[in-house]
Amino acid sequence: MHTLTVSEMSAGLRARKFSSLELTLHLLGRIERLGPGLNAFVTVTADRALADARAADERNAKGDGGPLTGVPVAHKDIFCTDGILTTCASRMLSNFVAPYDATVVRKWREAGTVLLGKTNMDEFAMGSSNETSFYGPVRNPWDHARVPGGSSGGSAAAVAARLAPIASGTDTGGSIRQPAALTNLTGLKPTYGRVSRYGMVAFASSLDQAGVLARSAEDAALLLEAMAGFDPNDSTSVDTPVPRYTAELKQPLQGLRIGLIKEFFGEGLDPAVERCVRGAIALLQREGAVVKDVSLPSLPLSVPTYYVVAPAECSSNLSRFDGVRFGHRCEQPKDLLDLYRRSRGEGFGDEVKRRIMTGTYVLSAGYYDAYYLKAQKCRALIAGDFARAFGEVDVVLSPTSPTAAFKLGAKTSDPIAMYLNDIYSIAANLAGLPGISIPCGFINDAGTELPVGMQLVGPHFGESRLLSVSHQYQLRTEWHKRAPKGYA
């Protein structure tokens, strides 16, 4: 049963080929047996899952179930879940039990999904390899010596290893798309404001966006329908109608205008990765898509811009974790200042401290104009480049990551090298655009077969087109169906 996609599980549940309880027990058994080797889960909610499954079976028996009723899911441990630990993979929140559900969690629950557990992640979503977690690194199911990508690496590893059919993630600078590419999944980051951020612990408020990690574009469309929509609890939520994404998957490739981002096909891109992406482009052309080069000259500014804006917002958002109201508190503080210093020093990991310090610096008097204000101007230039490109093409295309999955520990001592791993994905967040990564091939690295991802970015609220292009590509290829050895 673990080999079934969400769409196939939904059909099987409706046809009474198996029950949600049987499905859930099967997946919980896989998590117990295979999960420890990946370290993909922070919390496994077995009792909650069995209760959810029984309730779903009752709904289906009465004919009250929907397409997701009884489908097991996992949530990244950044989403508040009522009565369950929500740690953000940090010592700071290691004992925090959320008193309410995030909107994404609530919507998936109302759709009838079954919660298997909460997945590991980079601490407070800060990282590109899932090595900054307080609970230890997550391992890539394609090669346990390699990273799964970050910060949604736990969700990616769980879905890739068939421990869960689908999982939520968050994307601040590529944290859904990059792990999707490194683990052979479909990873969707919606338009900023399309999905509520309420109950999602904030890292960088103007960049964070909830999305999904799935095994196909069809599955991603199903879950996006359930999670998208206006939320009065979120001031950044956009009140615009939600399309039937699954009904629009049949849009043809014929006549599709694709722009190849020239700036992303050059220095730093692994030639083997480029060959896979070029092969995918050739297939799209054979199916009638029109391909042209487009230049977005401000894109090289994406990484420095992001690493001013994101740390600045992180410095502000994480100031609330002070050891007074909630979170980790040091033992026997001498005074209030000692309480602040030691609680934050003990509660946060090195990468979080690095970004807080950077953000505090760029927001400080005398440096605000030189760094933060200038970064916001660069951000406007990047958004303008995309707007001009979408006057000529329907979507833009690039590799998702410059390389396949790298070895654990390979970049932990060099933050700049780690940051550059998101060089192709950051721009979509700065511009608030939707993006998707889909599998497009494999490369061989020292005898290990590793997946490669291709990224598509569309105009605001262009998720339907991104999903339909991805779905049509996946109807013509088998890359996304391949599973890691030992997990099939």
195-254: pLDDT as tens digits: 999 999 999 999 999 999 999 999 999 999 999 999 999 999 999 999 999 999 999 999
pLDDT > 90? residue 326: no
d(CA 206, CA 300): 20
Residue 366 is predicted with a pLDDT of: 87
Which is it for strands 257-261 and 290-294: parallel, antiparallel or unpaired? parallel
Cβ contacts of residue 387 below 8 Å, gap of 6+? Answer: none
Residue 96 is predicted with a pLDDT of: 96
162 vs 73, 76, 79, 307, 487, CA distance in Å? Answer: 11, 16, 21, 34, 7
d(CA 70, CA 51): 11
Higher pLDDT, residue 446 or 436? 436
CB 70 within 8 A of CB 64: no
pLDDT > 90? residue 325: no
Going by pLDDT thresholds of 50, 70 and 90, the confidence category of residue 18 is very high
pLDDT > 90? residue 327: no
Overall average pLDDT of the 301-317 stretch: 96
End-to-end CA distance of the chain: give it in Å, rounded.
11
- Per domain, the residue ranges of the chain are 6-255
d(CA 400, CA 52): 36
3-state secondary structure of 128: coil
β-strand partners of 453: 439
What's at 216, amino acid-wise? S
pLDDT > 90? residue 446: no
Write down the residue that tokens 């929140």 correspond to: 93
Whether the upstream peptide bond of residue 151 has omega within 30° of 0, thus cis, is yes
Burial of 234 from C-beta contacts in 10 A (0-12 / 13-18 / 19+): middle
Going by pLDDT thresholds of 50, 70 and 90, the confidence category of residue 33 is very high
Overall average pLDDT of the 265-289 stretch: 97
Residue 456 is predicted with a pLDDT of: 98
Domain topology for 6-255: Amidase signature (AS) enzymes (3.90.1300)
Residue 390 is predicted with a pLDDT of: 98
pTM of the model: 0.97
Cβ contacts of residue 416 below 8 Å, gap of 6+? Answer: none
pLDDT > 90? residue 469: yes
The alpha helices in 116-152, defined as continuous H runs, are none
Residue 36 is predicted with a pLDDT of: 96
Helix axes of 217-227 and 463-475: crossing angle, nearest 10 degrees: 150
466 vs 88, 94, 230, 472, CA distance in Å? Answer: 29, 37, 21, 10
Which residue numbers are catalytic?
Answer: 76, 151, 175
Q: Residue 411: what are its φ and ψ, rounded to 5°?
A: -125, 5
Average pLDDT across the chain, whole number: 97
pLDDT > 90? residue 138: yes
Q: Which residues of 42-75 are buried (b: 16+ CB within 10 A; e: fewer)?
A: bbbbeebbbebbbebbebbeeeebbbbbbbbbbb
Cβ contacts of residue 88 below 8 Å, gap of 6+? Answer: 77, 78, 121, 123, 124, 125, 201
Residue 62 is predicted with a pLDDT of: 94
d(CA 187, CA 178): 8
β-strand partners of 451: 442
**Percent of the chain, pLDDT > 90?**
97
Which is it for strands 114-119 and 72-76: parallel, antiparallel or unpaired? parallel
434 vs 334, 357, 371, CA distance in Å? Answer: 49, 30, 27
Could you say which DSSP state residue 378 is in?
H
Higher pLDDT, residue 267 or 117? 117
CB 210 within 8 A of CB 245: no
3-state secondary structure of 155: helix
